[in-house]
Each structure stands twice: as structure tokens, then as C-alpha cells.
């Protein structure tokens, strides 16, 4: 088992067709969260629909808790949205009785309150239906015909459902921390950090299996013994319990995870349960248009899928320093 946590994974549709500037400004990466349901209009939880620019989801949740006079744990949201972006998402606040604060006080140069509703349940992680992205890639240098053909392929076949690099921390730092926990037995008292490191480890193992299936040309094709979701193959999210796959699928997974065997048993004793994740991420309603030399993409992805998994199948991205 190597301590070099490579974050370079094989692509499914060939090498990048050129390069472009990515996130030159927050407005170049727009995310709109779709809950998939409407609020009841009554209940113990206040729902806040908020647009933020260049702000961290957890920071905003703490500000909401402070304004409401509640504990941070009483503020719910479906997921962490990119900081270097313009994002719209929902927050819930447990506020069963009493006079509500002036929620407009949340407004600032970077935060805009869009709506206030009431609902009967707290928002939970992963509860939303999808995220809608509008992404602008600047100064694209690629043959347009080839790039549009690649986009058509992605629309038909999808992309590998990799966990994005941000999952693993700067230079894979979360993986190094996970290794210290799992192998060296170092205790992490902070529950949030502990959960983050363990999640990073099992996400990395999933990526290893997905990479192996891409190398063997079967990332979209079910193998004997595969666990299918909507007819498509899945990969393991490691944890306690027997492997859910069997036969050739299990053999491939065991081979891919063999170098990481020292992580497997300790992960089983963390309380995490075996689970599965789709190997394929299919962008919904994928469209694009040229804005001079810039390319604007629009698409929706299901819960837990990364927009960067789509972009990496198209172009080499040059991340620009963001001015906030």
C-alpha cells in the first residue's frame, strides 16, 4: 500500500480535447439545488432559500443559527455547495414556536434571501433530488466540432461517477489523515473531521474500483454478480457487512482493492455499513452554447455526482485565481 495518493484517474471517452480557463469568477460556476418537493406551508421548521456568492455552506449555516438563537445542529441542509461559485440552496431551521427573527438580516453583498417557507421536517444530507449547473469555460482552445461530438457522447453514455478531487482535500490531505486513523490508530476527537476522513477513504476506494472497470472497458456494462440500480452497475462504498456483489464483479473489486487491503478491515469497525454507488453519472438536459471563445454548459446531476467529472471528460481545466 503506497502513501502516494494519486488523484489521476483514467478517463472513459479519451484524452482532453484542449484546454480552457475554469472558475475565472464565481459567476462562471452556478449551482441551483432542486429539492424535488414543495414545502407544506406549516410545521416546526423554517425553510430558507438562499443565494450565496463565494461563501462556505457551513459558515452560512452557523450565521443562520446565530441569528435564530439555536444550535448549529438545528440548521439542516442537503449538501455542501462549492464556495467559489454562485449557488442557490435551501436551509432548514428548527423553530417550533416564538417570534421569528428578521431573516432579511442574513442579506449581505454575497448573500441574498430568496424565500421563507414552513415545513414539517428538517433537511437531511442528500435529501434533494438534483443540482442544476450552468458553467462557463473561458478561452476554450479546442476544435469545436470534436468538442461538440464529445459532448454528444457524454449526453448519451454519461461519465464515470468519480468522487471529485475536493473530496480528498488539498494534495490528498484527507487521505493521509484517514491513513493515520485507520493504520496508525490515531484518534480524531472532532466528529466532523473524523467523518470527513472516513468518507474520503471509502470514496477513494470506490474510485479505485471505477478506474479498474474503465481500464477493462466495463464501467457501463454489467458483469455477472453486479449489483444493479436502474439496470446500471454499481461499485462498493466499503463498510461493515458482507460484500453485496458476487462472481466476476466481486473478483474485479477484490483485485482493484488488494493494494488497499490494510484499510478495509479498520473501515469495517468504524460503524459504516456496506453500500453501493452508481458507476455512471448521466447528465440530464445537457446543452451548450458558444459565447465567442467561451463555452457555456448547462446540465443537471443527481445527488452526490460531481460536475467536475463531466468537465474532465472534455477539456484540461486551468483554474484561475478567483477575485471575491
- Rg of the chain over Cα atoms, rounded to whole angstroms, equals 21
Distance between CA 84 and CA 123 in Å, rounded?
Answer: 23
Catalytic-labelled residue, pool 82, 171, 247, 294: 82
Cβ neighbours around 194 below 10 Å, total: 16
233 Cβ contact partners less than 8 Å away, ≥ 6 residues apart = 213, 218, 219, 220, 221, 222, 223, 226, 227, 249, 278, 279, 280
Helices marked H in 71-190:
144-157, 173-182
Give the burial class of 104: count Cβ atoms within 10 A of its Cβ; 0-12 exposed, 13-18 middle, 19 or more buried: exposed
Backbone angles phi, psi at 175, to 5 degrees: -70, -40
CA dist list (Å): 32 to 104, 312, 313:
20, 21, 22
Closest by CA position to 212, among listed 250, 253, 182: 253
8 Å CB contact between 219 and 280: yes
Closest CA to 138 of 291, 304, 8: 291
Active-site residue flag, 145: no
β pairing state of 284-291 and 294-302: antiparallel
Tell whether the torsion through CA atoms of 61, 66, 67 and 69 is positive or negative: positive
Helix H segments across the chain? Answer: 57-68, 144-157, 173-182, 191-215, 247-257, 261-268, 307-311
Q: Which residues are catalytic?
A: 82
Amino acid at each position: 500500500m503506497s502513501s502516494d495518493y494519486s488523484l489521476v484517474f483514467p478517463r472513459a471517452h479519451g484524452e482532453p480535447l484542449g484546454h480552457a480557463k475554469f472558475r475565472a469568477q464565481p459567476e462562471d460556476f452556478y449551482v441551483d439545488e432542486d429539492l424535488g418537493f414543495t414545502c407544506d406551508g406549516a410545521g416546526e421548521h423554517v425553510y430558507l432559500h438562499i443565494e450565496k456568492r463565494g461563501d462556505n455552506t457551513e459558515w452560512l449555516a452557523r450565521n443562520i443559527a446565530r441569528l435564530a438563537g439555536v444550535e448549529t445542529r438545528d440548521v439542516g441542509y442537503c449538501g455542501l455547495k462549492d464556495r467559489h461559485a454562485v449557488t442557490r440552496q435551501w436551509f432548514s431551521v428548527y423553530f417550533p414556536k416564538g417570534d421569528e427573527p428578521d431573516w432579511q438580516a442574513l442579506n449581505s453583498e454575497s448573500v441574498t434571501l430568496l424565500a421563507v417557507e414552513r415545513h414539517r421536517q428538517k433537511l437531511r444530507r442528500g435529501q434533494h433530488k438534483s443540482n442544476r449547473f450552468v458553467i462557463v469555460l473561458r478561452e476554450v482552445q479546442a476544435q469545436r466540432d470534436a468538442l461538440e461530438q464529445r459532448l454528444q457522447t457524454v449526453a448519451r453514455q454519461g461519465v464515470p461517477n468519480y468522487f471529485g478531487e475536493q473530496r480528498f482535500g488539498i494534495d490528498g490531505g484527507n487521505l493521509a489523515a484517514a491513513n493515520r486513523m485507520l493504520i496508525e490508530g490515531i484518534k480524531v476527537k472532532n466528529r466532523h473531521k473524523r467523518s470527513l476522513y472516513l468518507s474520503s477513504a471509502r470514496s477513494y476506494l470506490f474510485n479505485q474500483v471505477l478506474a479498474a472497470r474503465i481500464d477493462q472497458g466495463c464501467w457501463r456494462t454489467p458483469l455477472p454478480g453486479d449489483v444493479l440500480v436502474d439496470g446500471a452497475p454499481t461499485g462498493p462504498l466499503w463498510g461493515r457487512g458482507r460484500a453485496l456483489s458476487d462472481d466476476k464483479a466481486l473478483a474485479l473489486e477484490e483485485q482493484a482493492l488488494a493494494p488497499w487491503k490494510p484499510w478495509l478491515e479498520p473501515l469495517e469497525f468504524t460503524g459504516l455499513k456496506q453500500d453501493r454507488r452508481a458507476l455512471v453519472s448521466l447528465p440530464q438536459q445537457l446543452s451548450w452554447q458558444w459565447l465567442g471563445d467561451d463555452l457555456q454548459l448547462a446540465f443537471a446531476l443527481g445527488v452526490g455526482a460531481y460536475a467536475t467529472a463531466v468537465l474532465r471528460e472534455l477539456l484540461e481545466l486551468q483554474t484561475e485565481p478567483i477575485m471575491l
